[in-house]
Structure 1
Amino acid sequence: MIGGGVGCARFVKGLREHVRRTGGRDRIDVVVNTADDWWVSGLRIAPDHDSLLYALAGVNDTERGWGRSNETERVSAELAAWGTAPDWFTLGDLDLGTHIARTAWLREGLPLSEVYRRLGTRWDLGATLHPATDDEIDTHVLRADGAPLHFQEWWVRHRAQIPATGFVQRGIEHATVSAGAHEAIADADAILIAPSNPVVSVGPVLSVPGMREALAASGAPIVGVSGIIAGAVVRGMADACLAAIGVETSAEAVARHYGARADGGLLDGWLVDESDAAAVAPLGAAGITTRAVPLWMRDEDSSARLAADALALADAVRR
Structure 2
Amino acid sequence: MSSLTNNSSLNNKDSLNNKSSAKITLLAGGVGGAKAAEGLNASRYRDGLSIIGNIGDDQAFHGLWVSPDIDTLTYSLGDRINREQGWGLAGDTCQVLNGLQQLGVDTWMQLGDLDFATHIYRTERRQRGERPQQIAEDIAVANGVNVSLILPTDDVVATRLRTQDGWLSFQDYFVRLRCAPDVLEVEYHNAEQAKANPEALAALTQADLIIIAPSNPILSIGAILAIDDLRTQLKARTVPAIAISPLIGGQAVKGPAEKIMTSLGMRADALGIAHYYQGLIDTLVIDSCDQHLQADIEALGIQVHVTNIWMKTPQDKERLMSEVAELALQTTVGELG
Q: What is the CA–CA distance in structure 1 between the aligned matches of 2:332 and 2:198, rounded to whole Å?
A: 27
Secondary structure of residue in 2 paired with 1:210: helix
- Aligned equivalent of 2:112, options 92, 100, 103: 92
CA displacement at 1:83 relative to structure 2: 4.6
Give runs of aligned pairs for residues 199-214 of structure 1, distance below 5 A.
Answer: 199-214=218-233
Q: 2:59 aligns with which of 24, 27, 38?
A: 38
How does the TM-score come out when normalised to structure 2? 0.87
Map 1:18-37; keep pairs closer than 5 Å. Answer: 18-19=43-44, 26-37=47-58
The one of 99, 114, 117 aligned to 2:134: 114
Q: Structure 1 pair 266/317, CA: closer, same or farther in 2 (3 Å)?
A: farther
Counterpart for residue 300 of structure 1 = 314
**Partner residue of 2:176 out of 151, 157, 181:** 157
- In the alignment, is the contact (CA less than 8 A) between 2:152 and 2:200 conserved in 1? yes
For 1:186, which of 196, 205, 217 is the aligned residue? 205
* Residue 228, structure 1, aligned to residue 253, structure 2: no
State the secondary structure of the residue aligned to 2:48. Answer: coil
RMSD: 1.6
Once residues 294 and 139 of structure 1 are traced to their aligned partners in structure 2, the CA distance between those partners, rounded to angstroms, is: 31
In structure 2, what is the equivalent of residue 262 of structure 1? none
Change (3 A) 1:217 1:139: same
Q: Is 1:142 matched up with 2:162?
A: yes
Deviation readout 1:234-285 (Å, 9 max, x if unpaired):
11111222123221221121111211xxxxx211011000111112222122
Q: Equivalent residue for 1:131?
A: 151
Paired with 2:195 and 2:315, the residues of 1 have a C-alpha distance of 37
Distance 1:148 1:298, change over 3 A: closer
Residue of structure 2 aligned with 1:9, choices 34, 39, 47 = 34
Bigger mean CA deviation after superposition, 86-95 or 222-231: 86-95
- Matched position secondary structure for 2:43: helix
1:234-249 mapped onto 2 (5 Å cutoff): 234-249=253-268
Q: Distance in 2 between matches of 1:46 and 1:214?
A: 25
Unpaired stretches in structure 2, ≥5 consecutive residues: 1-25
Structure 1, unaligned stretches of length 5 or more?
Answer: 260-264
Contact 1:131–1:178 (8 Å) recurs in 2: yes
Aligned AA (1:140): R
The C-alpha deviation readout for 1:96-142, integer Å capped at 9, x for no partner, is 11111111111110111111111111133232111111101212211
Residue type matched to 1:92 in 2? G
1:202 counterpart letter in structure 2: I
Separation of aligned partners in 2, 1:239 and 1:230: 10
CA offsets, 1:62-118, max 9 Å, x none?
Answer: 01111001011011122334455x321121001111111111111110111111111
SS in 2 for 1:291: strand
Partner of 2:101: 80
Label 1:123 to 1:92 Cα distance change in 2 as closer, same or farther (>3 A): closer
Q: Name the CA shift for 1:317/1:44 in 2 (closer, same or farther; >3 Å).
A: farther
Q: Distance in 2 between matches of 1:173 and 1:82?
A: 40
Whether contact under 8 Å (2:250, 2:258) holds in the other structure is no
Q: 1:27-68 CA deviation, whole Å, 9 max, x = no partner?
A: 110111101000101111111101100011011100111100
Aligned residues: 308
Matched residue of 2:32: which SS? helix
In the alignment, which residue of structure 1 is the partner of 2:294? 280
State how far apart, in whole Å, the 1-side matches of 2:202 and 2:58 are: 23
Aligned residue runs from structure 1 range 44-55, under 5 A: 44-55=65-76
Q: How far is the alpha carbon of 1:149 from its aligned partner? A: 1.7
Distance 1:16 1:255, change over 3 A: same
> Could you tell me which residue of structure 1 aligns to residue 89 of structure 2?
68
Q: Aligned equivalents of 1:87 and 1:117: distance in 2?
A: 28
Determine helix, strand or coil for the equivalent of 1:79: helix
Alpha-carbon separation, structure 2, partners of 1:41 and 1:236: 25
Which one-letter code corresponds to 2:101 in the other structure?
A
Letter of the 2:310 partner, please give it: W
In structure 2, what residue type is equivalent to 1:59? R
Higher relative contact order (CA 8 A, sep 6+): 2
Q: 1:169 & 1:117 partners in 2: Cα distance? A: 24
Per-residue deviation, 1:317: 7.3
